[in-house]
Structure 1
C-alpha cells in the first residue's frame, strides 16, 4: 500500500475533468491561494490534482507531530500507561496540560498530541517510546526515509523552529495518507473534541483544526503555526466515496490557511465521482449452447465501484469466456474473468459466471445438429414417399388377393 501511495507522487498526474456544481465549485479553474506552497492529491486515482512548490523544503511547525504519531502508533501499545516527563514550555506553546509524574495512557497522549497539539504530550511520547528525545528523533528520520519522504528531516518531535526541522507539502500529504490507514488515527483527527484522563482526572481537549466545525465533509488532519513556518494545515475530506488530502504551508494567517484548505478540498471533490464500473448480474457474454440454436447468459458475480474523474470512463473487458458451452453447467459456475481497469491499470478481477443452469443437449438435439437442414427435409420427404409406396403396395396385394379368392369361388360354382 505504501508503494501505491508513493506511486502517485512519481506519476505527477494532474486531474483535468470538468467541475461539478456540487459543493458550490462551479468553475473549472483552480482556486486562488495565498499559501506559497500547497498540494492536493486524490489517492484512489493517484492524481496530484494541484501543486504549488509542492517539493520545496519549508518549516512545518506542529505538523511535525504527524511523524511523532506514526512512530508512536507503530511502536507502542495504546493501552500502555506511562508517566509524563517534565516539559519546560514557553508562554505561547500548545500544551495538553501534563505535569511531571502524571499517569496517562499512550492512547490519551496521542489524542492530546493530535487535537490539542500538546508539546508536552509529544515530549513524553518521545521519551517513553524512544528512550530519549534524541533516540526518538532518529526513529522519526529513519521512518521518513523508509516511506520515501525525500524532502523531510526532523530535529525534534514537537515542531519548534529549527533549521534541521523541515518538510514539503507533498511529503506531508504522503505522510497523512499513510497515517489515515490507521483507524485510531483517522477517528481521532476527525473529532472536534475528546475526553482524556490525566492522573485519574478527566479533561476535555478541543481540536485546534476548526475546519471540522465548518464543513462536515472535512475529516482532519493537523494544524501548525510558528513564526518561521507561518500557518500550516494538512487537510482531509471525503464526499460520496471520493477522498482528498491537501496541505498548505506558509499562509499569512489562520483565516487564510483555513480558506485555502477549504477552497482546495471543495474544488477537488467537485472534480471526481465514485462510479459503478460493473453491476452484479450484468450480462457480459452470451455463448452458444452446443448442438442447439440457443445461447445462455454469463454475468458479473459482484459489483465494482471506483473513483474516476468526472467524464472519465472505466475500462471493462472479458477474459477467458467460452464461445460455446457443452454439457450441463450449474448456475453460478465460473466461465471466465472480468477485468476492470482505469487508465490501463487494473482495479479488480471479477468472476464471470452462468446466470442460470444449463442442461445437456438431448439425443434429438445432437441429431438435428449433426444433419444440415436441407438433408433433414430430404430425409423426411424420402420417408414419407417410402411410407406412401408401402401403403400402395399393400393395397394392391389386398386387391389381388380378393380377385384371386373371387375367381376360385367362381370356378367352384361352375363345376
Structure 2
C-alpha cells in the first residue's frame, strides 16, 4: 500500500482511533473502500407534520415547500398538477445522470450497445482515492466493467466514475457525449436545460429546470421500460463493495419505483421520484432542499397531495366510433372517426363522472382519407372548464371515387347549396 502520510502525520489518527474509523488509501488500481456505510439500513421515516398550504391561480390549496423549485406531473398526460418555479434553470447535481443513463439505455435498446460490452475505466474517469462524500462505483483504474454494471453504477451508486467512463465509451469523449446529451434534451423539449458534463459535477453551465427533469423522467419510464426497474433496485455490489440506493423512498413507500437523487453544496439536496398507485403514475421533482430528510419528506407531501386531489377519467375509448364524418369525392359518403390511442385525463377528485365531451371536425373533408389521419379533435370539459383534448382520426381508409362519381357528387353539391 502506498502511504500518503509521514509517521508524525499519522499520529493524530492513531490517537483518535477509538473515535473514528479511517478509510484507508488504496494502491493504484486496487479495489476502493466505499466512502458510505455499505450496509446502512434505511428506517421508515416518521410521518411529516401537516404541510403549510397556499392557494394557487386555479383556487386550489397546494403545498408550500422549503426549496428553490418543485414540480408534480402526471405521467400519462404530462399535465403539471402543481409547481413552484418550474422553469428556473438550477444546478441539478446528480439528477444530470438521468440523461446519461437514458442515452445508455437507448443505445442498448437500439443495439448500438451490448449489455456485456466492456467499458474501460480511464484515468480521467477514475475516482482518485475515494474521498469521503465521493459518489463512485469504484472500478479500478484501467479495469473494465460491462455496460450493464456501469449502468447500475450510475443509477444505483450514482457513480461519477461510471458516468464519465460511459460518456467516453459512447461519445468518444465526455465532450462528445455532452453534445449528445444536449441534442437529446432539445429533442425532448427540455428548453431550460444545458448540460456541461455527464455526472452533474458543479459547473456554471450545467443547469436544468424542475419541469425539464420531470419530462426526462417520463421519457425514461416510457422509452426505457425494459431498464426502468433498475431505478428501483435498493443496492448494487461491484468488486465486493455494496452500495445502497440513495432514494430513501424506495425503502419506505412501496408505490415509489425510481428515479434519482442528487446533491452538491450549490444544488442542495435534489430528488426526482415516481410513484404508481391504482394505475395512476405521478412524477415529482424537488430541487435545492436543505437535507436528505427534507427532500424525501417533501416528495411524500407531493405524492400524498396529488393522489388525494386528483383522479383519472377516460372520456372515450380508443377505437370506438365516436362519429361518422362526412366527406366528398370518396367511394363512401362518410368515414368512421374516433380515437387512435387510449385517452386518460386527470381531473379533480370527484369530477370524473362530470366530464363531458364535444367533437369538432375539420371542414370540407375530401377523399382519399387514410386510416389514422387526423380529421378533428375531441374536447373534454368538467364543470364548464376544459380539462383536455385529443385528436380525432379516421378509423378506416376511404378511397377516392372515380371520375364520373366525383362529377355526380359535384353536381349534387351545386343544387344542394
Q: C-alpha root-mean-square deviation of aligned residues, in Å?
A: 3.5
Aligned pairs (5 A) from 1:57-68: 57-68=89-100
8 Å CA contact 1:212, 1:219 repeated in 2: yes
Aligned pairs (5 A) from 1:318-329: none
- Higher percent of residues as helix: 1
Once the two structures are TM-superposed, the CA of residue 278 in structure 1 deviates from its matched residue by 6.1
Aligned pairs (5 A) from 1:34-49: 34-49=66-81
1:257 pairs with 2:257: no
- Structure 2 residue matching 1:268: 3-state secondary structure: helix
Once the two structures are TM-superposed, the CA of residue 83 in structure 1 deviates from its matched residue by 2.1
Aligned pairs (5 A) from 1:288-307: 306-307=344-345
8 Å CA contact 1:242, 1:272 repeated in 2: no
- TM score, norm. by length of structure 2: 0.62
Name which of structure 1's ranges 159-168 and 40-49 shifts more when overlaid on structure 2. 40-49
1:77 pairs with 2:116: no
**Of 167, 187, 194, which aligns to 2:229?**
187
8 Å CA contact 2:343, 2:390 repeated in 1: no
| Alpha-carbon spacing, 1:190–1:317, altered in 2? closer, same or farther (3 Å) | same
8 Å CA contact 2:359, 2:379 repeated in 1: no
| Alpha-carbon spacing, 1:308–1:134, altered in 2? closer, same or farther (3 Å) | closer
How many pairs were matched up? Answer: 296
Once the two structures are TM-superposed, the CA of residue 132 in structure 1 deviates from its matched residue by 1.2
| 1:147-190 per-position Cα deviation (integer Å, ceiling 9, x unaligned) | 22121111111111111111111111111111111113421112
| Mapped partners of 2:194, 2:358: distance in 1 | 45
The gaps in structure 2 that reach 5 residues or longer are 1-55, 324-337, 361-376, 381-385, 396-417
| Mapped partners of 1:57, 1:316: distance in 2 | 37
| 1:301-327 per-position Cα deviation (integer Å, ceiling 9, x unaligned) | xx97734312134446799xxxxxxxx
8 Å CA contact 1:123, 1:158 repeated in 2: yes
| 1:245-290 per-position Cα deviation (integer Å, ceiling 9, x unaligned) | 111111111111111111111111222223465689x9999xxxxx
| Alpha-carbon spacing, 1:78–1:35, altered in 2? closer, same or farther (3 Å) | farther
1:225 pairs with 2:269: no
- Structure 2 residue matching 1:142: 3-state secondary structure: helix
| Alpha-carbon spacing, 1:16–1:212, altered in 2? closer, same or farther (3 Å) | farther
- TM score, norm. by length of structure 1: 0.62
Once the two structures are TM-superposed, the CA of residue 217 in structure 1 deviates from its matched residue by 1.1
- Structure 2 residue matching 1:243: 3-state secondary structure: strand
Once the two structures are TM-superposed, the CA of residue 138 in structure 1 deviates from its matched residue by 1.7
